[in-house]
Amino acid sequence: MSRQQPHQDVAAYALGILEPADAFRFEEHLAGCVPCTVGLSEFTGLATALSELAGPVRLDARPGPKLLERLTAAVVDHRRRDRRRRLRLVAVAAALIVVLPTAVVAARGVQEPAPPRVVASDPVSGVTASVALEDRDWGTAVAMRLTGLAGPRTCRLIAIGKDGVEHPVLSWWVPESGFGVQKKPGQEGPLDLEASTGLHTAEIGRWEVRSDSGERLLSIGG
């Protein structure tokens, strides 16, 4: 083993082809060399493949030039294939970094746009609503934000068909502080509601928000 190039003997040591004195000196070097320790662990995995390649060899036999050439070629081929595999993994990872955001954008692009919102207000009650309707196979989904809704009282959302038939959709309790009435500390903010009805949007004439006493606080559409 060369004193100036101790790291080059890792493969030879792993293959068992060093002279005893060189092997002893390499073991002394190995005790304090992390790179050689790591390299030796990599070559250990080649033992089975190399033994199959070389065939049965007597323990007292000296490896000839042909055997050394085959073993060295096998080591080089293994390292090349391992390097190519790592490069392929890096290429796949890089491709995923590029493709995945594009795929996400494409998937988002095929989604239907959010339904338009309609704003309605009542000058008497002071209630204002921002409403989004979405027609579904089973009926209509409604999302509503209410402000200026004073309390305390119970309110109801009614869907009125074009035939005049009323369809109760939702009811809720309004606290004394109301929802979105005043912008003061401790006051409730806007009220967000989500509900649905079996009527399709084409069948609905209008929506009404009413108090528990039957007072109409807001009419939407119609």
Q: Which two tokens stand for residue 201?
A: 């949007």
Task: Work out the pLDDT band at 59, boundaries 50, 70, 90.
Answer: very low
* Helices of type H across the chain: 10-15, 20-30, 34-44, 47-54, 65-109
Q: In this structure, is the dihedral angle defined by the CA atoms of residues 121, 219, 150 and 172, taken in order, positive or negative?
A: negative
CA 55 to chain centre: 50
What span, in angstroms and rounded, lies between the C-alpha atoms of 169 and 204? 12
User: What are the residues whose beta carbons fall under 8 Å from the beta carbon of 158, sequence distance 6 or more?
Assistant: 166, 167, 168, 169, 207, 208, 209, 210
pTM of the model: 0.50
pLDDT (0 to 100) of residue 125: 94
Distance CA 197, CA 138 (A): 8
| pLDDT value, residue 106 | 45
pLDDT average, residue stretch 7-26? 70
In angstroms, rounded to a whole number, what is the distance separating the alpha carbons of residues 21 and 11?
16
**Domain 117-220 classified CATH 3.30.43?**
no
Across 188-197, average pLDDT: 92
* Residue from 199, 191, 197, 185 nearest 218 by CA: 191
221 vs 23, more confident = 221
CB of 142 within 8 A of CB of 194? yes
Among candidates 120, 164, 121, 112, which has minimal Cα distance to 141? 112
Give the start-to-end residue ranges of the domains of the chain.
6-107, 117-220
Instruction: Please tell me which residue, 1 or 82, carries the higher pLDDT value.
Output: 82
